[in-house]
């Protein structure tokens, strides 16, 4: 029990009362759907690694109950969503299709074939995936794995593959592993280049360091949280490249729809005609999804995203009995499924089009975020609410995609950075004590957004000002209690936690050896280039020829002016050294080590001089303090 946690204040409680009046809490259809076809649950629902460490603890969410009454410290709408996403077990979608839900952030779907079972999206960790498969087999028999499908390149849809695919099968390549074109490149690059910073910020987004409970982490909207087991990657053996392409997997006919550049850079939908079932991957779930996640990523294209949903309706809507996705519960019945897809499509299209309309009227990101109101049909539907993405941050992301960080007003073209700005604001406002005194009044009025802004300046100007830190932590906490968005709640409460107790670093794993092993030579050089400490290596010059002994590929790698570049084109001038190594040894280079089995011809110190210029990324960097 964290005794520093405070109760909800009057303004937050009043906001919740309003929410209870305006949203259709009497509509319990989602609870029916989320429990439909229940076959059994994992009990107790903690999943452990080989060393005994808990990587998933479903029972820690028991406090949620079944969504009847939210405590004052949780937005009732988010509470309802968390009660739904916490429901755990094996469910029959239709005969022959099963889902394990609530055992990780994502779902595992199992499609029974002639000889065994096909796994669609084997969760994030090997441990949770193995537990999910075990639960399935307990109820459906010990069927062998006869196919794996990765719907898209995010780790919660492939990372657990080693928990379902025995090593021997993976090596023999007998089990087809199907993924959309470009899968492997995106799967590794999204987690490698800015991976350290994204992982540190993921800790905030999913609230990994927070206690679970009414004053702590209650869920992340898309699912409860991320598991913390072993993340692996077995590369696909079958790449799908075109919409309409078909495969027969273990006797099951599958029709694919490509959806690149939507929720993930490589993504696809699957239609199973014999079961009249459509898997929509992660492009239509029971949330407004992220156009830009708050952990940081490239901005997604909501216009293209909406277009794929229109296409899915056109291709498969006429003959549809059930719609399911890789998060949340299915929708049964043709009419409801098509209505659901249509509303999800309208949601992404509306946000896109109205944002750009307002951009052309001169509004900026923060202004559009306040001005944007969804049409009544989208306000009323539970599945379009911002539990994971939010209207507020998605709209600013669309602005960013089209216009970038600069809003066009030169007053904001060249601002001081946070510490310098903070010092000046605090001095102008009469000193830190005066700002904190005024901030207390705003806090009492419930203007938490304003308190966060002004106290942010004080904490960056005077990080040791105890009263400012405490009041800022209390403010983040109230903002968290008020948030309908699961990731906003986690972020606010994580900020409060770090102000009160110090930094928690990066609680979840970053890129695994399995993923590093899939890096192409070019991606390895890119990974090295972004670790070169520029100023420290301005005067260093290293020229290497790298020859991959198994593929014969040859690269010239040059460090000069603090920049590492590479080319495949033949070079006339000699290198300092030639390095000969197998492609499999490149992964060691990617983490700044000397690859095993490397042969050096020429200057033996050259590689060492290059590696000495590399900086280690910092998984513990400060966020809410300077």
> Contacts with Zn ion in 87-106 (CB under 5 A)?
106
Q: Are strands 577-581 and 599-602 parallel, antiparallel or unpaired?
A: antiparallel
Of 156 and 190, nearer to Zn ion (C-beta) is 156
Of 206 and 460, nearer to Zn ion (C-beta) is 206
Of 222 and 374, nearer to Zn ion (C-beta) is 222
Beta bridge partners of 46: 57
Nearest approach, Cβ of residue 494 and Zn ion (Å): 20
Nearest approach, Cβ of residue 446 and Zn ion (Å): 35
For residues 119 and 108, the answer to whether their CB atoms sit within 8 Å is: yes
Nearest approach, Cβ of residue 151 and Zn ion (Å): 9
Of 290 and 527, nearer to Zn ion (C-beta) is 290
Strand ranges, E, within 62-206? 89-94, 97-101, 108-112, 117-120, 145-149, 177-180
Of 106 and 125, nearer to Zn ion (C-beta) is 106
Where does this chain touch Zn ion (CB under 5 A) — which range of 155-163, 246-254, 393-401, 496-504? Answer: 155-163
CB atoms < 10 A from the CB of 439, how many?
24
Nearest approach, Cβ of residue 257 and Zn ion (Å): 18
> Contacts with Zn ion in 103-132 (CB under 5 A)?
106
Where does this chain touch Zn ion (CB under 5 A) — which range of 36-44, 149-157, 161-169, 348-356? Answer: 149-157
Where does this chain touch Zn ion (CB under 5 A) — which range of 225-233, 244-252, 274-282, 402-410? Answer: 274-282
* Two structure tokens written together for 147: 């196919």
Please give the Cα distance from 54 to 65 (Å, whole number). 22
Q: Map residues 275-294 to x or -, x wherever contact with Zn ion holds by CB under 5 A.
A: -------x------------
For residues 88 and 58, the answer to whether their CB atoms sit within 8 Å is: yes
**Does 514 engage in binding with Zn ion (CB under 5 A)?**
no
CB atoms < 10 A from the CB of 38, how many?
14
Nearest residue (beta carbon) to Zn ion: 156
CA angle 521/195/296 to nearest 5° reads 130
Please give the Cα distance from 233 to 423 (Å, whole number). 47
Residues in the chain: 626
For residues 104 and 85, the answer to whether their CB atoms sit within 8 Å is: no
For residues 74 and 481, the answer to whether their CB atoms sit within 8 Å is: yes
* Two structure tokens written together for 498: 């770090």
| Separation in Å, CA 137 to CA 42, 117, 143, 144, 305 | 12, 10, 7, 9, 35
Q: Map residues 290-329 to x or -, x wherever contact with Zn ion holds by CB under 5 A.
A: ----------------------------------------
Where does this chain touch Zn ion (CB under 5 A) — which range of 156-164, 355-363, 390-398, 590-598? Answer: 156-164
Of 388 and 443, nearer to Zn ion (C-beta) is 388
Nearest approach, Cβ of residue 124 and Zn ion (Å): 8
Of 327 and 352, nearer to Zn ion (C-beta) is 327
**Does 537 engage in binding with Zn ion (CB under 5 A)?**
no
Burial (0-12, 13-18, 19+ Cβ within 10 Å), 503: middle
Where does this chain touch Zn ion (CB under 5 A) — which range of 148-156, 316-324, 350-358, 585-593? Answer: 148-156
Where does this chain touch Zn ion (CB under 5 A) — which range of 154-162, 238-246, 459-467, 469-477? Answer: 154-162
Nearest approach, Cβ of residue 264 and Zn ion (Å): 8
* Cβ contacts of 339 within 8 Å, gap of 6 or more: none
* Two structure tokens written together for 67: 């969504």
* Two structure tokens written together for 126: 């090997």
Nearest approach, Cβ of residue 326 and Zn ion (Å): 6
Rg for the chain, CA atoms, rounded: 26
Distance of alpha carbon 558 from the chain centroid: 34
Of 156 and 267, nearer to Zn ion (C-beta) is 156
Nearest approach, Cβ of residue 487 and Zn ion (Å): 13
Number of residues this chain uses to bind Zn ion (CB under 5 A): 4
- Region of 173 (left: φ > 0; alpha: ψ -120 to 50; beta: rest) is left
Q: What is the 3-state secondary structure (H, E, C) of 169-198?
A: HHHHCCCCEEEECCHHHHHHHHHHCCHHHH
Q: Helices 466-482 and 448-461: crossing angle, nearest 10°? A: 150
Of 74 and 93, nearer to Zn ion (C-beta) is 93
Nearest approach, Cβ of residue 179 and Zn ion (Å): 14
> Contacts with Zn ion in 336-395 (CB under 5 A)?
none
Of 232 and 365, nearer to Zn ion (C-beta) is 232
Please give the Cα distance from 361 to 359 (Å, whole number). 5
Nearest approach, Cβ of residue 88 and Zn ion (Å): 17
Q: Are strands 554-560 and 177-180 parallel, antiparallel or unpaired?
A: unpaired
Nearest approach, Cβ of residue 86 and Zn ion (Å): 17
**Does 156 engage in binding with Zn ion (CB under 5 A)?**
yes
Nearest approach, Cβ of residue 594 and Zn ion (Å): 36
Nearest approach, Cβ of residue 106 and Zn ion (Å): 5
Of 154 and 393, nearer to Zn ion (C-beta) is 154
Nearest approach, Cβ of residue 327 and Zn ion (Å): 6
Sign of the four-CA dihedral 163, 166, 172, 176: negative
Taking alpha carbons only, the member of 501, 494, 480, 502 closest to residue 214 is 480
Of 389 and 482, nearer to Zn ion (C-beta) is 389
Of 269 and 469, nearer to Zn ion (C-beta) is 269
Where does this chain touch Zn ion (CB under 5 A) — which range of 153-161, 267-275, 373-381, 433-441? Answer: 153-161
Of 158 and 481, nearer to Zn ion (C-beta) is 158
| Separation in Å, CA 174 to CA 144, 165, 370, 407, 517 | 12, 11, 54, 54, 21
Nearest approach, Cβ of residue 262 and Zn ion (Å): 12
CB atoms < 10 A from the CB of 301, how many?
18
Of 263 and 484, nearer to Zn ion (C-beta) is 263
In the sheet that holds 97-101, the strands lie side by side as 38-40, 89-94, 97-101, 108-112, 117-120, 145-149, 177-180, 238-240
For residues 118 and 160, the answer to whether their CB atoms sit within 8 Å is: no
List of residues contacting Zn ion (CB under 5 A): 106, 154, 156, 282
């Amino acid at each position: 029990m964290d005794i520093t946690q405070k109760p909800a204040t009057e303004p937050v409680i009043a906001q919740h009362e309003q929410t209870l009046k305006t949203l259709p809490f009497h509509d319990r259809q989602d609870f029916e759907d989320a429990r439909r076809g229940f076959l059994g649950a994992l009990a107790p629902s903690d999943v452990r690694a080989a060393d005994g460490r808990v990587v998933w603890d479903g029972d820690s969410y028991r406090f949620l109950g079944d969504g009847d009454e939210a405590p004052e410290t949780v937005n009732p709408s988010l509470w309802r969503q968390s009660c739904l996403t916490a429901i755990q077990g094996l469910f029959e979608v239709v005969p022959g299709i099963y889902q394990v839900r609530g055992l990780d952030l994502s779902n595992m779907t199992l499609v029974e074939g002639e000889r065994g079972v096909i796994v669609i999206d084997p969760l994030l960790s090997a441990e949770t995936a193995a537990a999910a498969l075990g639960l399935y087999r307990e109820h459906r028999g010990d069927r062998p794995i006869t196919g794996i499908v990765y719907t898209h390149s995010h780790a919660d849809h492939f990372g657990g593959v080693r928990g379902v695919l025995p090593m021997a099968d993976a090596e023999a390549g007998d089990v087809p592993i199907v993924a959309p074109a470009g899968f492997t490149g995106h799967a590794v690059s999204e987690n490698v280049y800015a991976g350290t910073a994204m992982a540190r910020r993921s800790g905030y987004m999913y609230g990994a360091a927070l206690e679970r409970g009414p004053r702590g982490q209650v869920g992340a909207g898309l699912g409860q949280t991320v598991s913390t087991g072993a993340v692996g990657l077995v590369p696909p053996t079958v790449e799908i490249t075109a919409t309409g392409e078909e495969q027969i997997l273990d006797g099951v006919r599958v029709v694919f729809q490509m959806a690149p550049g939507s929720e993930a850079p490589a993504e696809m939908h699957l239609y199973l005609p014999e079961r009249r079932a459509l898997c929509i991957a992660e492009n239509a779930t029971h949330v407004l999804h992220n156009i830009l996640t708050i952990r940081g990523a490239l901005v997604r294209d909501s216009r293209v995203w909406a277009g794929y949903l229109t296409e899915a309706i056109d291709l498969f809507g006429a003959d549809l009995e059930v719609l399911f996705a890789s998060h949340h519960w299915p929708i049964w019945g043709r009419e409801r499924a098509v209505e659901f897809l249509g509303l999800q499509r309208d949601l992404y299209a509306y946000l896109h089009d109205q944002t750009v309309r307002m951009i052309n009227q001169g509004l900026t990101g923060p202004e559009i975020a306040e001005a944007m109101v969804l049409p009544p049909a989208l306000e009323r539907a539970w599945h379009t609410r911002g539990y994971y993405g939010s209207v507020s941050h998605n709209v600013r992301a669309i602005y960013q995609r089209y216009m970038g960080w600069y809003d066009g007003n030169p007053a904001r073209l060249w601002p001081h950075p946070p510490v310098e700005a903070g010092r000046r604001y605090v001095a102008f406002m009469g000193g830190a004590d005066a700002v904190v005194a005024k901030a207390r009044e705003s806090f009492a009025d419930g203007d938490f957004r304003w308190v966060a802004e002004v106290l942010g300046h004080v904490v960056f100007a005077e990080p040791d000002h105890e009263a400012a830190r405490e009041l800022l932590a209390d403010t983040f906490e109230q903002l968290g209690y008020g948030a309908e968005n699961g990731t906003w709640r986690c972020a606010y409460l994580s900020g409060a936690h770090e102000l009160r107790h110090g930094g928690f670093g990066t609680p979840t794993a970053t890129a695994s050896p399995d993923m590093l092993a899939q890096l192409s030579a070019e991606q390895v050089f890119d990974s090295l280039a972004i670790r070169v400490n520029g100023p420290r290596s301005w005067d260093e010059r290293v020229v290497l020829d790298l020859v991959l002994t198994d593929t014969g590929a040859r690269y010239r790698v040059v460090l000069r002016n603090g920049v590492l570049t590479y080319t495949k084109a033949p070079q006339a001038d000699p290198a300092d050294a030639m390095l000969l190594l197998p492609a499999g040894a490149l992964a060691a280079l990617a983490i700044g080590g000397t690859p095993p089995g490397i042969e050096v011809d020429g200057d033996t110190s050259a590689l060492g001089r290059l590696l000495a210029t590399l900086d280690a990324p910092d998984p513990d960097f400060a966020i809410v303090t300077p």
